[in-house]
Structure 1
Amino acid sequence: MGIDEIVERVLPLPCERVAGYAMDWRHDAEWTQGIRTAELTREADGGGFGVGAEVTRTAYFLGRRIDYVLRVAAYEPPRLLDMVSVAGPMPMHVTYTFTPTPDGGTLARIRVRGDASGLYGLAAPLMGRKVRSSLVKDLRDLEQRLSAPQD
């Protein structure tokens, strides 16, 4: 059974600022539900973060620890970050897009697709709802974090 969830939110902040923060793996645990750690475990071919880079995440989902690795498939800052899982409990595809709005804000969109067969097959309907709920919270937390006074 497949999961395909898309959430979006308009943030009243400049696109470069939103994308710059959200596309930086070092901030994953600060605004993404369930993620406890994120580590760049393979650099892009040209070094640093970009296409081919891999980020290993440790998260908790439905009460279980999940370790997975996402490989960057497309990286076009500040517009697009597309990642596919290369290790983990289920195949997954995560896409972040950021589009400037006419009033200077940002339309932020997250799409998560995955194959919930096997271990998670029976829980696929619950997983879809939980993924959607988590993504809604992610975008809310992203806006709150970026709107907070800077130290």
Structure 2
Amino acid sequence: MGGIDVTVRRVLPFPPERVAGYAMDWRHDAEWTQGIRTAELTRPADGGGFGAGAEVTRTAYFLGRRIDYVLKVTGYEPPRLLDMRSVAGPLPMHVTYTFEPHPRGTLAQLRVRGGQGGFYRLAAPLLSRRVRSSLGKDLRDLERRLTEGAPDG
């Protein structure tokens, strides 16, 4: 192994349908996800629109560097699960969003895995800390956006 595997969780005071409706909509990626400047649906799902098989191209900045990458949706079960794998970009990545009912709203969980081997194996401890910090900010920003009345997808 030796790569990155980071999970963060936060209870958000909204129902899973509202949280997932916003967070799973690629059009909102740049509003709540750290470092993302643009996101574009570059390949629709097999049945059209967004869902399994769709690809989203993101431009992000991480550690001061521009990163362009493409995530392919490999699992899409709203409002519970969005699972994506990178199919183009500098770093192999697997991103999973899960939203489960919780007595106080929704237990939101973001997980990022990737960066096996070479430089990423050596840099994993530093990158993991940065990714954990970023994901924690993502969930805080997601809660703030929903509190401010951001539209559901």
| Class of the TM-score when normalised by the shorter of the 2 chains | over 0.9
Instruction: Report matched runs for 1:24-63 at 5 Å.
Output: 24-63=25-64
How far apart are 1:150 and its partner, in Å?
Answer: 5.9
Please list every run of 5 or more consecutive structure 1 residues that lacks an aligned counterpart in the other structure. none
Instruction: Report matched runs for 1:34-113 at 5 Å.
Output: 34-103=35-104, 105-113=105-113
Q: Any idea what SS the aligned residue of 2:47 has?
A: coil
Q: 1:150 to 1:33 in 2, by over 3 A?
A: closer
Residue equivalent to 2:136 = 136
Contact 2:3–2:120 under 8 Å retained in 1: no
1:62-110 Cα offsets, whole Å, 9 max, x none, are: 111000000000000000000000001111000000001124x000000
Please list every run of 5 or more consecutive structure 2 residues that lacks an aligned counterpart in the other structure. none
Report the count of equivalent residues.
150
* TM-score with structure 2 setting the length: 0.93
Counterparts of 1:92 and 1:25, CA distance in 2: 17
1:119-145 Cα offsets, whole Å, 9 max, x none, are: 544322111100000000000000011
Counterparts of 1:120 and 1:4, CA distance in 2: 12
Residue equivalent to 1:124 = 124
Aligned-residue CA RMSD (Å): 1.4
* Identity value in percent: 78
How far apart are 1:117 and its partner, in Å?
Answer: 3.1
Deviation larger for 120-129 or 106-115: 120-129
Q: Any idea what SS the aligned residue of 2:11 has?
A: strand
Deviation larger for 140-149 or 130-139: 140-149
1:24-44 Cα offsets, whole Å, 9 max, x none, are: 000000000000000000001
Counterparts of 2:80 and 2:67, CA distance in 1: 28
Contact 2:6–2:111 under 8 Å retained in 1: yes
Q: 1:39 to 1:149 in 2, by over 3 A?
A: closer
